[in-house]
Every structure is written in structure tokens, then in C-alpha cells.
Amino acid sequence: MRPLAIILLTCFYSVTSLAEDKQLAGLFEQKNIKGTIVISSLNGERSFSYNDERRDLRFSTASTFKILNSMIALEEGVISGRLSIIKWDGTLYEYSSWNRDQTLESAFKQSCVWCFQELAQRIGPEKYRSYIEKMNYGQLKGPLTQLHSGLMGRLR
């Protein structure tokens, strides 16, 4: 595995103790934001969190899925870097910014779903499931036979 994947795995598995952090709470309250955050040191010795009660609830992965999708695509070599071109197939989408060739960087910035669907198709369902399970990234329900935006809603 590449270093980025190892770092991410370390982050997921290194949370040893969590305590509600007053400074983080202040930032969320100041902006009137309902959310949750967990920040852990790579060695797992220190962790900070906000909204511990909500932290343990399961939600759809939504746009955070772009991060994992991009990492897997880079790891598997289906795209070589942030400026690699993902060819648009001519399908017209609701968002005009999606209606053109994209780079990984532009797809990420614009949450261009068709790009992430394309990358997932290139990776394939079995490899994809393997990464999701190794990363302990949500709970995938049912078989993973077709990769599409609905996958994001199936992960909790």
C-alpha cells in the first residue's frame, strides 16, 4: 500500500480515547453548525472530538466518499494524478460545469458525480469492496455488483 493509504488506515484504527473538546464545540457553536468532528494523532495518543453523541450515529457518506474514491483510483493506477483527464461522454447533466472533460482536481472541486462513477467502474466492484472493508469505511449493505452514486447512499 502507498503511504497515503497507510496514514488513513492509521487514523481510522488509532482512536484510543475520545473526549469532547470545548474549543471545537466553540467553533461549531460560533458558526451555528450542526456537525461532528474527530481529530486523532497518527500514533493514537491524542484525540479531540466535538459532538460525541452524534459521532456514533451512522449517516450516508455523501461527499466524503470522493476522498476514498480518489485514493483508491490513484492507488490502483486508474488515474495518474490530479491533472489526469477524465473524458466526458457527452451526456448532458443538470450542472453545466459537469458537461466537459474533467481532471481529478476539477471533479473533486465540483463534486462531479459522473467522474467518480467512471473511476469506480474502472476499479471494479471486487477491488472496490476490498478497499471499503480494509478501510472500515462505513457499513456496505448487500452485494456490490454495480458501482454508481447510489453506492454512497448504501454506505453508512
Catalytic residues: 63
Q: CA-to-CA distance for 71 and 86, rounded, in angstroms? A: 15
- Report the alpha-carbon distance of residue 2 to residue 89 in Å, rounded: 31
d(Cα 135, Cα 70) in Å, to the nearest integer?
A: 14
Sign of the alpha-carbon dihedral angle for 10, 11, 12, 14: positive
CA 89 from centre of chain:
24
Q: Report d(CA 30, CA 21) in Å as an integer.
A: 14
Q: Kindly report the number of other CB atoms within 10 A of residue 140's CB atom.
A: 16
The phi, psi pair for 39, rounded to 5°, reads -125, 125
